[in-house]
Structure 1
Amino acid sequence: MEIVMAIVIGILFMTATYLMLSKSLLRIIVGTGLLSHGAHLLILTMGGLKRGAAPLLGEQGPYTDPLPQALILTAIVISFGVTAFFLVLAYRAYKELGTDNIEKMRGNRGNE
């Protein structure tokens, strides 16, 4: 199962890198979202994909470590806030400048 997760994480990182290198601001935001999802899966996979019970007192048996899940939950909340901020920033920039192209926002006309 770890091999499949490693392939999925690699595809997410590859897609996120491709999107973040584009000139469209909206694609950059989607790329950062995909990158954060890839990082969440990476943390979960590195914590180990095991089956087991919750670590409760008085219970016997194999336990799963709750620390990676707590870290991912915190990271999801933070990435949601950052994505919401990026979307508001992109909307405001589009309203002010009339474009979401990074080259035009800088003032470069490019080859268009």
Structure 2
Amino acid sequence: MSVNVVLVAVVGTLFAVGVYLLLERSLTRVVLGLLLISNGVNVLFLIASGGAGQPPIVGSSAPERMSDPLPQALVLTAIVITLGVTAFLLAMAYRSWQLHEHDEVQDDVEDALIRRRAERDEASSSYDDSAGGTLDERGADPAGESTQDSRDGDGAPIGPEGETP
């Protein structure tokens, strides 16, 4: 079996451009990247299936000359799945346009905080193992603030003015 080098180059180009577009901030470019990658996968399926053969109808030709219908079924299934995912991403991009008048995905505040802490090589305040127990048992939320009443050194609750009840 010989492979068509031009089709392999087309698959490589579709994948490369698709991955580049997926890494962009705009949801429209993400949709285009997804479409290019899915088309690259479909062409790859057809390349891997081999050359064209006779129709897979029993009695019309010899079994060794028939083409395999499985790659064609996989490509049709991939087309349907890509259509559904594309419709979902387009709906997200349209909703983002309605709300913010652009379709760019913003950085998450927590992601930025984690990135800054990683650059400084420090752990978050919620990762204190010396207190023992889990965050829920200690009553702390992920931001590190206590959700229960403050307590003094003996474990007695401290009121708003600092006195113990």
TM-score, structure 2 normalization: 0.59
**Alpha-carbon distance in structure 1 between the residues aligned to 2:42 and 2:88:** 20
**Alpha-carbon distance in structure 2 between the residues aligned to 1:101 and 1:58:** 56
Q: In the alignment, which of 19, 22, 28 is matched to residue 20 of structure 1?
A: 22
**Alpha-carbon distance in structure 2 between the residues aligned to 1:39 and 1:63:** 23
CA contact under 8 A between 2:15 and 2:36: conserved in structure 1? yes
Q: Which amino acid aligns with 1:6?
A: V
Q: Which range is displaced more, 68-77 or 52-61?
A: 52-61
- 1:12: how far off? 0.1
Q: Which amino acid aligns with 1:8?
A: V
User: Which structure has the greater CA radius of gyration?
Assistant: 2
Q: Which amino acid aligns with 2:19?
A: T
Mark the runs of 5 or more structure 2 residues left unpaired by the alignment. Answer: 113-165
Q: Which amino acid aligns with 1:13?
A: F
Q: Does 1:93 align with 2:96?
A: yes
Deviating 4+ runs (over 2 angstroms): 105-108
TM-score, structure 1 normalization: 0.85
- 1:96: how far off? 1.3
Measured against aligned partners, the alpha-carbon deviations of 1:18-50 in whole angstroms (never above 9, x if no partner) come to: 1111121110111011111111111111111x1
* Partner in structure 1 of residue 5 of structure 2: 3
* Partner in structure 2 of residue 58 of structure 1: 59
Q: Does 1:67 align with 2:70?
A: yes
- 1:2: how far off? 2.1
How many residue pairs end up in the alignment?
106
Q: Secondary structure at the match of 1:102?
A: coil
Q: Which range is displaced more, 36-45 or 57-66?
A: 57-66
Measured against aligned partners, the alpha-carbon deviations of 1:55-74 in whole angstroms (never above 9, x if no partner) come to: 11212231111100011001
Higher RCO (CA 8 Å, separation ≥ 6 residues)? 1
- 1:51: how far off? 2.5
Q: Percent identity?
A: 42
